[in-house]
Amino acid sequence: MGWRTVRGRVLAAAVVWLAVAAVVRVAVAAPEHCPAVDAPALRAAAVEAVGWFDRNQAADGTWLYRYDRAADRDVGGYNTVRHAGVVMSLYQAHAAGLPDALAGADAGTAYALDHLVAANGGLAFEPSSTRVTTGAAALLLAGLAERRAATGDDVHDEVMAALGRFLVGQTEGSGAVLEAWDRRTGAPVPGIYSPFFTGEAYWALALLHREDPDGGWDEPAARIGHYLATERDAAEGHQPDVPDHWAAYGLATTAAWPERSGGSRPLTAAEAAYADRQARLAGVQVRWESQRTDAWPNWWLRGRRTLGAGLGTLGEHLHGLWRVALVDERTAPLAAVLAERGRCVGAMLVDRQVGPDEAARFADPSRTRGAWFQFEVTQMDDQQHALSALLFALDMLDAAEGPA
C-alpha cells in the first residue's frame, strides 16, 4: 500500500512537472519563427508598399488614412504626424532606388508646404488644429533632409531651417521636448511630453546638422540625445523604458557626424550605454513577436500579432542600433545579432503582407494589395513603418552577404 502511495505521488508529481513544462514551452519558451527571406523578396515587398501609396494618394497629396477591407469602407480621419512620416519613408525608398517613390513623396511634401504655420520662431506643419504638434514638424524636416541627401537638391533649405527653429524652440534646457505649441496662446503647451516626439526631434535636428553643419543644430540635437540617454524615461514616468526607434535613428545619425566619426567611440558614454539598453529591448520584442501565430491557444497566451506599424518600428529600431554598432566599439558585439533580428523582422513583414492573389478576394484590391492588416483594418502608417523596415532589412542582408 505504501509502495503504491509513493508511486502514485511520484506519478502525480511527474504529471505536474510535465504540465508545467508544457506551459513553459507554449507560454514562455515557444519556438521562434523567422521565415526564410532573400533580397529579391524584401525588395519586391517594398515595391508593393510604394505601390499602395501610389494607388491611394489623393490629388491634394494626402493618402487614404484608414481602410476596412471587410466592409470596403474608408474609415476616414487624418493625422499630420503620420502624413509627414509617409513622406519621409517614401524619400527613403527613393534613396534606395525604388521607382515611383519620389513623385509621391514630393506630392505629399507639397501638401505639407501648403499647410505650414508660423510657430515658436519658425514654421510647423498643422493644417487646421490650434494644437501644433512637434512631431509633424520633426518628421517633415527629417523627410526633407533625406530628400536633400538623396537628390542634392537644396530647394527646401529655408523651410528646413525654419522647421529646425521651431523644434529648437520646443526644446527645454534639459533636452526635454514639449509635445505641442498652442496657436491661441502663441506659446508651447507646458509640461506635456510625447513618448515619440522627443526622439523625432532628436533625429530631425541631427539630420539638419548633417545637411547644414554651420547652422548650430548640433548643440540642441546633442542636448536632446543626452536627455534621452540619461533622464527621459525616469523624468517622464515611463516604466518600463520606451523602446524608441526614433532615438535609434538619432543615435545612428549623430554617430556619423564627421566631427564625431574619426574614432572608434563616436557616441558619448551615456549615449553608448543607452544604445546598448535599447538594443536589448528590441531583441526581446522581436523574439516575442516571432512566436505569435494568431492561432489558439497562442493568441490567448501571447496576444494577437502586432500591427504592420508595430512590426515596422521594430525593424527601424534595430537598423539604427545596428548602424551604431558598426562604428562604436562598445556596442560592436551586438552588430551581428541586431542584423539577424532586423532580417527576421523583414521576413515577417514579407510573410504578412497582402499579395495580389489574396487582395483579389476583397472588394477593392487596390486598397488591399501591398498592405498589412489587423482585424481587417489597415492604416497609412502600417505601410510607412513597414516600408522603412523592409528597406533596412535589405540593407542589413546586403551587408551580411557582401559584394556580389
Structural contact between residues 164 and 210, judged by C-beta atoms closer than 8 angstroms: no
Domain ranges of the chain: 43-77+243-404, 115-238
Provide DSSP, 229-265: HHTHHHHTT-SS----HHHHHHHHHHHTSTTTTTSS-
Per-residue pLDDT of the chain (404 residues), as tens digits, is: 444 554 443 344 444 343 333 444 444 445 668 889 999 999 999 999 999 999 999 999 999 999 999 999 999 999 999 999 999 999 999 999 999 999 999 999 999 999 999 999 999 999 777 899 999 999 999 999 999 999 999 999 999 999 999 999 999 999 999 999 999 999 999 999 999 999 999 999 999 999 999 999 999 999 999 999 999 999 999 988 999 999 999 999 999 999 999 899 999 999 999 999 999 999 888 888 888 866 667 666 767 778 899 999 999 999 999 999 999 999 999 999 999 999 999 999 999 999 999 999 999 999 999 999 999 999 999 999 999 999 999 999 988 776 54
**Quick count: other Cβ atoms within 10 Å of Cβ 39?**
13
Written as nine digits, the cell of 75 is: 474609415
380-383 contacts, C-beta under 8 A, 24 or more apart: 380/53, 380/56, 380/63, 380/64, 380/65, 380/66, 380/82, 380/83, 380/86, 381/79, 381/82, 381/85, 381/86, 381/309, 382/307, 382/308, 382/309, 382/312, 383/49, 383/52, 383/53, 383/86, 383/308
Written as nine digits, the cell of 169 is: 524652440
Structural contact between residues 190 and 178, judged by C-beta atoms closer than 8 angstroms: yes
Structural contact between residues 164 and 216, judged by C-beta atoms closer than 8 angstroms: no
Written as nine digits, the cell of 400 is: 551580411
pTM higher than the cut 0.85: yes
Strand partners, 124: 117
DSSP H or E run through 228 = helix 218-230
CA pair distance 335, 161, nearest whole angstrom: 34
Strands 66-68 and 377-379: antiparallel
